[in-house]
């Protein structure tokens, strides 16, 4: 494992606290402040038989290693018929007052890059199972960990061997009136909105956590869309070019005749994430504005 301050300091969010004492400095490597060097070294390690995990201290800074991931790691299997088993992971997302340089949701960039898998867990058990699956995968994986969920969402996590397959969505709440498709932080305010609508008006809302953008579990999403006939897609990333557009296009292409209302998207404004808490709240999606869109769709 390699990254900035992950060894002696234990990581910016203390995710690697105690790792260097347990595994040593040859396996837990404190890297210089150069994301390009971190990713480049990880690619070299992967090509030489290792399975490195490279941390971006904040996923915003993955831009500095973008060329190495997209143009090198993502194309090596195609060019050389040789896998690059590596994981690039780190904290992403807003809602914690971390300003534009520490709040971006950039997962759609990598979903567009051929040869790269993209993972966005919403729950602790999934984070473990998907991480193990990502490390064992023979392709480069970009693994997004929403920083707002680190110490907010708690659940029992299976001990020992536990794998969640990449490319398999999870129905986290079953329903019949409307489907809400989400991932990452958005899963939690989707569940909040669904519960409020059930308690206040008796609506039955299905919530699906796709968990991985690439590979994408199209089958589960289409089945839900066909069952309910009404679909809202929600993610914290900005609207334009967000992965929600890809989901909407696939549903429109393959389940159009089952729909009883237009597909709606709920996402952040096309704006940097503000530092001021009131402005940040206004820019990012939440349970309240999602609930309004669900009701509009139900009443279409």
- pLDDT tens sequence for the chain (300 residues): 999 999 999 999 999 999 999 999 999 999 999 999 999 999 999 999 999 999 999 999 999 999 999 999 999 999 999 999 999 999 999 988 888 999 999 999 999 999 999 999 999 999 999 999 999 999 999 999 999 999 999 999 999 999 999 999 999 999 999 999 999 999 999 999 999 999 999 999 999 999 999 999 999 999 999 999 999 999 999 999 999 999 999 999 999 999 999 999 999 999 999 999 999 999 999 999 999 999 999 999
**Statement to judge: residues 126 and 36 lie in one domain:** yes
Structure tokens at 53: 């995990």
pTM: 0.96
According to the 3-state scheme, what is the secondary structure of 67-120?
A: HHHHHHHHHHHHHHCCCCCCEEEEEECCCCCCCHHHCCCCHHHHHCCCCCEEEC
In a 3-state reduction of DSSP, which class is residue 296? Answer: helix
Indicate whether 214 belongs to any domain. yes
Q: Give the pLDDT score at 253.
A: 98
**Statement to judge: residues 129 and 200 lie in one domain:** no
Residue of 102, 146, 188, 235 marked catalytic: 102
Closest CA to 27 of 6, 47, 43: 6
**Statement to judge: residues 37 and 98 lie in one domain:** yes
Indicate whether 158 belongs to any domain. no
Angle at 142 between CA 137 and CA 143, to 5 degrees: 95
Within 8 A by CB and 6+ apart from 283, the residues are: 94, 268, 269, 271, 273, 274
**Statement to judge: residues 178 and 133 lie in one domain:** no
Structure tokens at 287: 């349970």
| Enclosing domain of residue 202 | 170-298
Count of the separate structural domains present in the chain: 2
Task: Report the length, in residues, of the chain.
Answer: 300
Q: Give the pLDDT score at 226.
A: 98
**Statement to judge: residues 107 and 209 lie in one domain:** no
102 is a catalytic site residue: yes
Q: What is the CATH number of the domain that holds 238?
A: 3.40.50.920
Rounded to the nearest angstrom, the gap between the alpha carbon of residue 11 and the centroid of all alpha carbons in its chain is: 20
Residue 175 CA to residue 292 CA, distance in Å, equals 18
Contact in structure between 260 and 230 (CB atoms under 8 Å): yes
Angle at 10 between CA 23 and CA 35, to 5 degrees: 95
Residue 297 CA to residue 284 CA, distance in Å, equals 20
**Statement to judge: residues 45 and 119 lie in one domain:** yes
**Statement to judge: residues 7 and 128 lie in one domain:** yes
Structure tokens at 153: 């969402």
Largest CA distance in the chain: 60
Indicate whether 155 belongs to any domain. no
Alpha carbon of 15 to those of 57, 126, 172, 201: distances in Å? Answer: 11, 16, 26, 41
Indicate whether 163 belongs to any domain. no
Q: Give the pLDDT score at 81.
A: 95
Residue 173 CA to residue 206 CA, distance in Å, equals 5
């Amino acid at each position: 494992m390699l990254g900035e301050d992950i060894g002696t300091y234990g990581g910016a969010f203390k995710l690697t606290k105690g790792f260097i004492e347990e595994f040593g400095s040859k396996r837990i490597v404190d890297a210089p402040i150069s994301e390009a060097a971190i990713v480049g070294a990880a690619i070299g390690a992967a090509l030489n038989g290792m399975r490195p995990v490279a941390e971006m201290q904040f996923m915003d800074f993955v831009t500095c290693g973008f060329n190495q991931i997209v143009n090198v790691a993502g194309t090596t299997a195609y060019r050389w018929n040789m896998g690059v088993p590596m994981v690039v992971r780190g904290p992403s997302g807003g809602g914690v007052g971390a300003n534009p340089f520490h709040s971006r949701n950039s997962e759609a960039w990598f979903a567009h890059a051929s040869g790269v898998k993209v993972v966005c867990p919403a729950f602790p058990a999934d984070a473990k199972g998907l991480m193990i699956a990502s490390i064992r995968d023979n392709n480069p994986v970009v693994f997004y960990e929403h920083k707002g969920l680190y110490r907010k969402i708690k659940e029992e996590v299976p001990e020992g061997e536990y794998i969640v397959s990449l490319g398999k969505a999870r129905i986290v709440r079953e329903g019949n009136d409307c489907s809400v498709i989400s991932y990452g932080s958005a899963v939690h305010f989707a569940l909040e909105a669904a519960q409020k609508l059930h308690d206040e008006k008796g609506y039955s809302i299905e919530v699906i956590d796709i968990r991985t953008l690439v590979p994408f579990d199209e089958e589960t999403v289409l089945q839900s869309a066909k069952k309910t006939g009404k679909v809202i897609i929600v993610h914290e990333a900005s609207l334009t070019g967000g992965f929600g557009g890809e989901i909407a296009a696939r549903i429109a292409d393959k389940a159009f005749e089952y729909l009883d209302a237009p597909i709606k998207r709920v996402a952040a404004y096309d704006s940097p994430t503000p530092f001021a808490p009131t402005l940040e709240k206004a820019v990012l999606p939440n349970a309240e504005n999602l609930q309004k869109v669900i009701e509009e769709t139900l009443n279409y």
